[in-house]
């Protein structure tokens, strides 16, 4: 049980091991990631599919309508185009791949019910405050739709009411499907915005985990788009996939994910400021939850961070994604990086002084992040850029990772950037395996937020950066 603070990061061994499925070890998760890398053998230039607005009220038909044995319910991945065993993977009881299937049933567990009791929800498995993230928040439901399906296929692929019959026909193109309301999950920004709804929060009903809910026992939400995509993946980005949809590649998915996470947090700020304080979950948890002592011999815990010009004693805006974004922009968009950094500093300062100025600064910063997301989505990331990004985040920005949440985001970035280099053939699998111990050490240092070891983590990340530099 969670005795005091319940922080939890999802994959890669970061967290406090509170998973409902028991401990998935760091090694197992690392292996999972490596396997995912091996499967993503081909990186091609993205072919862009025109974004078509999905019909808002396409009926959701339920997982049973997807999982027939001749459809996505095969025992083995033997489909000619898509694997067709997606149902089994989505239900996998042994790994994080099955997390979305389990998402609703875990609301029946004592731990989930206890959260409800503490915040006055009689049945969490029936409350929109919980099921809109732990299930499919389908606006219109067909007869086979079931709450117990958890986060079902249509929660991510869109209501199938208008495309179920046509999408598997010979000659049905991705663009046809999207025009009938299938969501374009191959497009990084569409995917990011969807995942963030549940893995960060949204302005839609029931999709926000408040600090009240976290103080009642809900784990902290932590997310990195590319890593989490790999951890739940049930598809192959092979030649056939590339021809149909284009392959965005890990770097692009990661960067668009960072930029849109920054934008999401900042745009939620105004609506999440009721009463005297803004919503606490938008801040870095550890900036409030620290231990301290009146004994002058006990050193202070907070570390000076030049990226963030704020005085001691102020809650820190959770800038884990912002710091990554600035570091990455310095490589791929140096002009914008300067502006972003200036806006970020202005925002931190305004948060300490003036609510109206803070709202204005947040809006400007959110707009910059949105522009960067669009720019990244169009960009091509070559070998040299990949290497430079890894170096910028792990070594060049080492001084940015003074806090747990940023540190954890840096470890996930290391994992994602290494995977992308392997995937693009820029680092061979043997060399990548040799980096594994460093990455495992970095994950281990961030495993327990209450025992975060910034120095050990920084050393492990620096070691990765040095070794990768030799491979350039």
Q: Which residues in 179-238 contact ligand HEC (CB under 6 A)?
A: 185-186, 191, 194-195, 197-199, 201, 206-209, 211, 213-215, 218-222, 228-229, 231-232, 234-235
Question: Which of 10, 12, 159, 250 touches ligand HEC by CB under 6 A?
Answer: 10
Residues contacting ligand HEC: total by CB under 6 A: 80
Only segment of 41-49, 151-159, 334-342, 415-423 that touches ligand HEC (CB under 6 A): 151-159
Stretch that binds ligand HEC, among 126-134, 370-378, 438-446, 456-464 (CB under 6 A): 126-134
- Site stretch for ligand HEC (CB under 6 A), options 42-50, 114-122, 347-355, 377-385: 114-122
Cβ distance to ligand HEC smaller for residue 219 or 331:
219
Residue 11 makes contact with ligand HEC by CB under 6 A: yes
**Which residues in the 400-429 window bind ligand HEC by CB under 6 A?**
none
- Taking residue 157's Cβ as centre, other Cβ atoms within 10 Å add up to 20
Q: Which residue has the tokens 């991705």?
A: 174
Least distance (Å) from ligand HEC to the CB of residue 379? 19
| Stretch of residues binding ligand HEC (CB under 6 A), selected from 1-9, 300-308, 406-414, 450-458 | 1-9
Site for ligand HEC contains 18 (CB under 6 A): yes
88 near ligand HEC (CB under 6 A) = no
Residues 20-59 that bind ligand HEC (CB under 6 A): 20
Q: Is residue 66 a contact point for ligand HEC (CB under 6 A)?
A: yes
Residue 452 as a binder of ligand HEC (CB under 6 A): the answer is no
For residues 307-366, which are near ligand HEC according to CB under 6 A? Answer: 315
Q: Distance (Å, rounded) from C-alpha 235 to C-alpha 92? A: 14
Q: Which is nearer to ligand HEC, 72 or 308 (CB)?
A: 72
Could you give the CA distance from residue 409 to residue 227 in angstroms, rounded to a whole number?
11
Backbone angles phi, psi at 18, to 5 degrees: -95, 15
Q: Which is nearer to ligand HEC, 88 or 410 (CB)?
A: 88
Closer residue to ligand HEC (CB): 107 or 390 = 107
Q: How far is the CB of 105 from ligand HEC (least distance, A)?
A: 8
- How many other CB atoms are found less than 10 A from the CB of residue 85? 17
Q: How far is the CB of 38 from ligand HEC (least distance, A)?
A: 17
By rule CB under 6 A, what string of x and - marks binding of each residue 254-283 to ligand HEC?
Answer: --------------------------xx-x
Min separation Cβ 415 and ligand HEC, Å: 13
Candidates 129, 319, 391, 403: give the one binding ligand HEC (CB under 6 A).
Answer: 129
Q: How far is the CB of 259 from ligand HEC (least distance, A)?
A: 16
Burial of 262 (0-12, 13-18, 19+ CB in 10 A): buried
Residue 16 makes contact with ligand HEC by CB under 6 A: no
């Amino acid at each position: 049980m969670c005795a005091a603070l319940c922080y939890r990061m999802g994959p890669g061994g970061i967290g406090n091991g509170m998973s409902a499925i028991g401990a998935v070890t760091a090694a197992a998760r690392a292996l999972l990631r490596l396997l995912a890398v091996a499967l993503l053998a081909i990186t091609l230039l993205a072919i862009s599919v025109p974004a078509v607005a999905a019909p808002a009220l396409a009926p959701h038909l339920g997982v049973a309508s997807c999982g027939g044995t001749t459809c996505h319910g095969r025992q083995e991945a033997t489909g000619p185009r898509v694997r067709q065993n997606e149902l089994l993977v989505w239900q996998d009881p042994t790994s994080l791949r099955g997390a979305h299937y389990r998402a609703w049933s875990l609301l029946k567990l004592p731990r989930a019910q206890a959260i409800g009791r503490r915040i006055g929800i009689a049945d969490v498995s029936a409350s929109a405050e919980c099921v809109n993230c732990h299930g499919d928040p389908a606006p219109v439901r067909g007869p086979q739709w079931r709450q117990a399906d958890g986060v079902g296929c249509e929660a991510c692929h869109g209501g199938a009411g208008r495309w179920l019959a046509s999408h598997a026909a010979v000659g049905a193109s991705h663009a046809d499907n999207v025009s009938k309301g299938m969501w374009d999950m191959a497009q990084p920004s569409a995917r990011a915005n969807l995942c963030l709804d549940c893995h960060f929060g949204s302005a839609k009903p029931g999709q926000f985990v408040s600090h009240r809910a976290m103080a009642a026992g809900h784990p902290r939400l932590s997310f990195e788009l590319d890593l989490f995509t790999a951890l739940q993946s049930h598809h192959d980005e092979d030649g056939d996939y590339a021809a149909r949809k284009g392959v965005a590649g890990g770097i692009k998915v990661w960067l668009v994910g960072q930029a849109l996470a920054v934008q999401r947090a900042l745009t939620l700020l105004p609506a999440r400021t009721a009463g005297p304080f803004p919503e606490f979950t938008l801040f870095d948890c550890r900036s409030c939850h620290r231990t301290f002592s009146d004994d002058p011999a006990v050193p202070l815990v907070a570390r000076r961070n030049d990226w963030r010009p704020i005085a001691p004693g102020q809650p820190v805006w959770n800038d884990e994604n912002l710091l990554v974004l600035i570091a990455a922009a310095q490589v791929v968009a140096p002009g914008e990086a300067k502006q972003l950094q200036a806006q970020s500093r202005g925002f931190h300062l305004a948060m300490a002084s003036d609510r109206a100025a803070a709202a204005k600064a947040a809006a400007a910063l959110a707009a910059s992040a949105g522009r960067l997301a669009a720019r990244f989505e169009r960009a091509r990331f070559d070998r040299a850029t990949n290497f430079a990004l890894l170096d910028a985040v792990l070594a060049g920005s080492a001084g940015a990772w003074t806090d747990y949440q940023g540190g954890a985001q840096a470890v996930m970035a290391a994992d994602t950037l290494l995977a992308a280099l392997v995937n693009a053939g820029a680092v061979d699998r043997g060399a990548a395996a040799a980096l594994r111990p460093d990455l495992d050490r970095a994950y281990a240092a961030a495993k327990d937020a209450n025992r975060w070891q910034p120095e050990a983590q920084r050393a492990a990340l620096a070691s990765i950066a040095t070794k990768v530099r030799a491979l350039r």
